[in-house]
A and B are shown apart, each in its own frame.
Chain A
Amino acid sequence: MKIATGNDLATGDVVWWDGEGWTRHVEDATEVSDHGAGLIAREEAARRVNGPYIIDAEATPHGPRPAHIKDRIRARGPTVRPDLNRAPIDPATGSWVI
């Protein structure tokens, strides 16, 4: 699946497109399919999010899992500071970063 991500303008937080707006939770990201390019153009023009881009992700029962490790780390936080990480909505999903 294809999902959209970027960094929030004000905070720099990693955000994901959930179909209506930007969320901090990758689990809520939704398939953008062939709407991606238009979405990115629209959001860049709106200047709310820095550098929005489309990534590949795997659909899982617990929501999308980004295909590349860089985006998995972006989704959860630094692997070396678990105390700072963004906990998954469902703790049962465990850690799928590495």
Chain B
Amino acid sequence: MYKYDTYDQSIVDARVEEFRDQVARRMSGELSEDQFKPLRLMNGLYLQLHAYMLRVAIPYGTLDGRQMRMLAHIARKYDKGYGHFTTRQNIQYNWIELKDAGDILADLATVEMHAIQTSGNCIRNTTSDQYAGAAADEVADPRPWAELLRQWSTFHPEFSYLPRKFKVAIIASDDDRAAMRLHDIGLQLTKNEAGETGFKVFVGGGMGRTPMVAPLIREFLPAADYLSYLEACLRVYNRYGRRDNIYKARIKILVHEIGADEYRRQVEKEFLHVKTLGIDPPAEEFERINAFFQPPAWEEGLSDELALSDPDFKLWVDQNVFAHKQPGYAIATISLKPIGGIPGDASAEQIDLMADLAETYSFDELRVTHAQNIVLPHVRKADLHTIWQKLDAAGLAAANLDLISDIIACPGLDYCSLANARSIPVAQKISARFADREADLGELKLKISGCINACGHHHAGHIGILGVDRKGTENYQLLLGGSGAEDASLGRITGPGFDEDGIVDAIERTLDRYVATREPGERFLDTYRRVGFETFKEAIYG
């Protein structure tokens, strides 16, 4: 893992003191809310329905046990004993008091954490593959590149006031586990025919009220041009992105309106200039960063044998454990989706337990996934049963990764001031209704947003749900056919919406039609794509 140098630490420490002063001025009444709001948003502090909400950055979703314990400490000391892991691999706290904000950031800074780039119209916390550095199918670990991007983008003076927020994801395998093409910029680490490292560059994806899958802008970007090209991409956006209409300000609108070819032409032209400015770091600097991401000291010669006589343990292994590139090791996902629970929430005690498990069994490393789960990336297979037992005792052993109850859900109207409808109760009802069937239903990614901003990724759900306000009443639209994976696609609205119970019934009719029409081995999404939208619409509405 990357460790701060004195520059990193001094920047973060200085930001803490700056914000502490800003909070004091707001508390005294010296600053109005209009003056204070942009300042607090630069430090991840929102005002939600019930209280202030603090979003803490977890760069590319990677953290260690010490940092995880700090997250538990924040939950326990400053909040109401829990936190909510988000779709940008961050964590947010729902019950923060303004007077504590400076102390919280100071506590975070002691473990190399902060809340920078979790809000505002800047380059947000970069996301990545939660299996980075452990998966056998990756070209290389993408996180050194994500860290380089973090250092380049943090407080970048030219990109601190973009037309809108800007999200980047980096992956390094053909299996996309980070919804890469639904980002403002999506990068896929790859190698060309000569074996040189570079990137496929996708620009102009996103969700929100105008969802788009990012088109390919550069087939192969040499790694040596990485930052210069990103700078050019951002410059063109910063220059021509709309600032007159918040709903048309994201880069996806620009790329769509001028076309991918014209956007590419402008970027290439800008790149020729930017490349002369010396932005790309020398190879030694990249190697300095890269050295922090070397594989841990895996043991050699471990057996891949696993005793699976316990049926519940076998179920968990089959569903939540992924192949590791090192023999004898595995990647274990801890589901934060207990049946009937709140997706992404974890108590301080559970967070502490996960820190313990990381320190004892996973070379002190954890990952947060964009699907709101936690990963132990480097676990000996021989330790899996013990880990599972400890998780089970803490209510963290749900064996449902990528099944229908592994729901992405935004906080919705229970917490969020932007929401039009509640997301969590719908997720809880769906989870409870279909738990008995989910093994048979197989991979099925269901995603719920409580408003058009799509924080719950409903456009990318095999089944998506969008909560809307219909004359003061919650109403839920059903979408089918989305995917955030390598086969990225956008869901299509089926028709008129439903009330809270009606949407669950509509999903049942959808699933019944899937079961009746699927061919052996077909996932829900495969069947949907084969038989088509109308077949399912007929099942839903008759």
A80 is an interface residue with CB less than 8 A from chain B: yes
A19 is an interface residue with CB less than 8 A from chain B: no
20 example contacts (A-B, Cβ-Cβ < 8 A) are as follows A9-B27, A11-B98, A12-B48, A12-B52, A12-B98, A13-B51, A14-B50, A47-B32, A50-B33, A51-B33, A70-B419, A78-B94, A78-B415, A78-B424, A79-B414, A79-B422, A79-B425, A80-B414, A80-B424, A80-B428
Chain B hits for A48, CB < 8 A = 29
CA distance A69 to B472 in the complex (A): 7
Chain A hits for B29, CB < 8 A = 46-48
Q: Do B98 and A69 touch (CB < 8 A)?
A: no
Chain A hits for B21, CB < 8 A = none
B474 is an interface residue with CB less than 8 A from chain A: yes
Closest residue on chain A to residue B415 by CB atoms: A78
B57 is an interface residue with CB less than 8 A from chain A: no
Among candidates B47, B422, B428, residue contacting A7 with C-beta atoms closer than 8 Å: B47
A77 is an interface residue with CB less than 8 A from chain B: yes
Chain A hits for B51, CB < 8 A = 7, 11-13
Chain B hits for A65, CB < 8 A = none
A92 is an interface residue with CB less than 8 A from chain B: no
Q: Do A10 and B98 touch (CB < 8 A)?
A: yes
Among candidates A9, A11, A51, residue contacting B26 with C-beta atoms closer than 8 Å: A9
CA distance A62 to B315 in the complex (A): 51
B288 is an interface residue with CB less than 8 A from chain A: no
1/0 per residue A12-48: CB within 8 Å of B? 1110000000000000000000000000000000111
Chain B hits for A74, CB < 8 A = 49-50
**Which B residues between 30 and 75 are near A, CB-CB below 8 angstroms?**
32-33, 47-52
1/0 per residue B93-120: CB within 8 Å of A? 0111111000000000000000000000
CA distance A16 to B33 in the complex (A): 18
Among candidates A50, A67, A69, A79, residue contacting B47 with C-beta atoms closer than 8 Å: A50
Q: Do B474 and A69 touch (CB < 8 A)?
A: yes
Chain B hits for A79, CB < 8 A = 414, 422, 425
B321 is an interface residue with CB less than 8 A from chain A: no
Chain B hits for A14, CB < 8 A = 49-50
Q: Do B413 and A11 touch (CB < 8 A)?
A: no
Chain A hits for B472, CB < 8 A = 67-69
4 tightest Cβ-Cβ pairs between the two chains A and B: A12-B51, A78-B414, A12-B52, A47-B29
CA distance A97 to B240 in the complex (A): 45
Chain B interface size, under 10 / 10 to 19 / 20 to 34 / 35 or more:
20 to 34
Closest residue on chain B to residue A68 by CB atoms: B472
B332 is an interface residue with CB less than 8 A from chain A: no
B273 is an interface residue with CB less than 8 A from chain A: no
Closest residue on chain A to residue B94 by CB atoms: A78
**Which A residues between 49 and 91 are near B, CB-CB below 8 angstroms?**
50-51, 67-70, 73-74, 77-81, 84
Q: Do A12 and B342 touch (CB < 8 A)?
A: no
Q: Do B80 and A73 touch (CB < 8 A)?
A: no
Q: Do B98 and A9 touch (CB < 8 A)?
A: yes
Q: Do B49 and A73 touch (CB < 8 A)?
A: yes
CA distance A13 to B49 in the complex (A): 8
**Which B residues between 112 and 139 are near A, CB-CB below 8 angstroms?**
none
Closest residue on chain A to residue B37 by CB atoms: A50
Shortest B113–chain A CB gap in Å is: 22
**Assuming A10-B97, A78-B415, A79-B422, is B33 touching A47 (CB within 8 A)?**
yes
Closest residue on chain B to residue A7 by CB atoms: B47
CA distance A48 to B26 in the complex (A): 10
CA distance A31 to B123 in the complex (A): 45
Q: Do B474 and A12 touch (CB < 8 A)?
A: no
Shortest A73–chain B CB gap in Å is: 6
Closest residue on chain A to residue B27 by CB atoms: A10
CA distance A79 to B49 in the complex (A): 12
**Which B residues between 479 and 519 are near A, CB-CB below 8 angstroms?**
none
